[in-house]
């Protein structure tokens, strides 16, 4: 680069030493593959607000990809008796959840009159079909075999879901860690069918209660419990904001994918992933 060019760049506010020749070097856009990402929004109508609808859902899926990455790592660390590292991953999951929750505030700027202008463009597609969201639910212990039929048309997706369905959940491995520590956990819990949704057990509650009653002795397990509560708390807030945003925009219409819409979303808030961690609070 000539001195004259350097001087012109500095006059335009470009700091000295900034690399400007990328004929043979990777740029920021190359590293992030921005050409592909920014070319992935293809609204099917001419309505101004459909782009917002697409971007919100695409970014949510990107965040869910990161959540799955963190949950997988957390599960592996707990299995390997490295709970302290798992705590970091679970903290990050909670922060991601808060980001996704805030995205509903942006989507809520879409009015019913605006959404109805392009809703038919969605066809039968629906957020209900998000396979990444299902994987997250499976990782957290809410399993469902019938729901797998939705994904039977894509072998790769179905295989991913089956893997998450058939493996112990985050809570299952946490309970296994308690058993390794010497807590008396029922064999019905330790040897259960991983494809079934977890249900509360008295032996698990007794173990967690003992941990909360002697925090100093069981500090790492106490921290794990609270991180799990954080994840579930944020999950419930996520579900609530989703439900209220849908109600605000379409009322009680059925979802585009055929789901009952708001009544279904409301029913999901009744499920607890880690029931004993909530029940024991009354008994402390």
Looking at residue 223, its pLDDT comes to 98
Q: Of 278, 144, 135, 134, which Cα lies nearest the Cα of 198?
A: 144
- pLDDT band at residue 52 under the 50/70/90 scheme: very high
Any idea what DSSP says for residue 65? H
Looking at residue 33, its pLDDT comes to 96
Judge whether 27 and 21 are in contact, CB under 8 Å: no
In tens, the pLDDT along 195-231 reads 999 999 999 999 999 999 999 999 999 999 999 999 9
In tens, the pLDDT along 40-51 reads 999 999 999 999
Judge whether 279 and 148 are in contact, CB under 8 Å: no
Looking at residue 25, its pLDDT comes to 84
In tens, the pLDDT along 233-260 reads 999 999 999 999 999 999 999 988 888 8
Helix locations, the chain, DSSP H = 3-11, 28-32, 34-38, 50-79, 83-107, 112-115, 131-140, 155-166, 170-181, 187-190, 202-213, 219-250, 262-268, 275-283
List of domains in the chain: 1-39 (no CATH), 57-282 (1.20.58.480)
Looking at residue 79, its pLDDT comes to 98
Q: Please determine, for residue 13, whether its predicted confidence score (pLDDT) is greater than 80.
A: no
Tokens of 199: 């249900």
In tens, the pLDDT along 64-80 reads 999 999 999 999 999 99
- pLDDT band at residue 3 under the 50/70/90 scheme: low
Q: Give me the residue label for tokens 């808030």.
A: 269
Tokens of 78: 């707990």
**Residues making up the binding site for substrate:** 53-57, 115, 119, 256
Angle, in degrees to the nearest 10, between helices 202-213 and 275-283: 60
Give mean pLDDT, residues 153-182.
Answer: 96
Looking at residue 259, its pLDDT comes to 86
Q: Of 207, 228, 195, which Cα lies nearest the Cα of 280?
A: 207
pTM for this structure? Answer: 0.91
**Residues making up the binding site for heme:** 242
Q: Of 151, 117, 136, 145, which Cα lies nearest the Cα of 249?
A: 117
- pLDDT band at residue 24 under the 50/70/90 scheme: confident
In tens, the pLDDT along 102-149 reads 999 999 999 999 999 999 999 999 888 999 999 999 999 999 999 999
Looking at residue 90, its pLDDT comes to 98
In tens, the pLDDT along 262-271 reads 998 999 888 9
Looking at residue 12, its pLDDT comes to 59
Sequence-separated (6 or more) residues with CB below 8 Å from residue 57 = 127
Judge whether 91 and 222 are in contact, CB under 8 Å: no
Give the C-alpha distances (Å, rounded to integers) separating 282 from 23, 164, 204, 265, 278.
65, 32, 15, 27, 8
CA distance 52 to 160: 29
Q: Please determine, for residue 35, whether its predicted confidence score (pLDDT) is greater than 90.
A: yes
Q: How many CA atoms lie within 13 A of 109 on its CB side?
A: 11
Judge whether 96 and 66 are in contact, CB under 8 Å: yes
Looking at residue 14, its pLDDT comes to 67
**Residues making up the binding site:** 53-57, 115, 119, 242, 256
Give mean pLDDT, residues 147-164.
Answer: 93
Higher local confidence (pLDDT), 207 or 14: 207
Q: Of 201, 216, 183, which Cα lies nearest the Cα of 280?
A: 201
């Amino acid at each position: 680069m000539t001195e004259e060019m350097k001087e012109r760049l500095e006059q335009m506010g470009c700091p000295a030493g900034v690399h400007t020749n990328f004929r043979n070097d990777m740029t920021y856009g190359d590293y992030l593959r921005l050409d592909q990402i920014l070319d992935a929004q293809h609204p099917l109508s001419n309505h101004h607000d459909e782009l917002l609808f697409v971007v919100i859902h695409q970014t949510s899926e990107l965040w869910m990809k990161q959540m799955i990455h963190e949950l997988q790592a957390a599960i592996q660390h707990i299995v390997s008796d490295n709970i302290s590292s798992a705590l970091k991953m679970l903290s990050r999951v909670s922060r991601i959840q808060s980001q996704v929750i805030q995205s509903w505030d942006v989507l809520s700027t879409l009015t019913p009159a605006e959404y109805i202008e392009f809703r038919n463009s969605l066809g039968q597609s629906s957020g209900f079909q998000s396979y990444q969201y299902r994987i997250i639910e499976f990782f957290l212990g809410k399993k469902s075999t019938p729901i797998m039929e939705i994904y039977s048309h894509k072998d790769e997706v179905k295989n991913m879901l089956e893997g998450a369905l058939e493996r112990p959940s985050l809570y299952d491995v946490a309970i296994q860690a308690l058993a390794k520590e010497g807590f008396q956990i029922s064999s019905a819990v330790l040897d259960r069918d991983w494809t079934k949704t977890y249900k509360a057990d008295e032996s698990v509650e007794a173990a967690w209660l003992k941990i909360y009653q002697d925090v100093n002795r069981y500090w790492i397990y106490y921290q794990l419990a609270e991180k799990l509560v954080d994840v579930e708390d944020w999950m419930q807030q996520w579900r609530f904001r989703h439900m209220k945003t849908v109600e605000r925009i379409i009322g009680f219409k059925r979802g585009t994918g055929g789901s009952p819409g708001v009544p279904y979303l409301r029913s999901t808030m009744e499920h607890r992933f880690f029931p004993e961690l909530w029940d024991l609070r009354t008994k402390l």
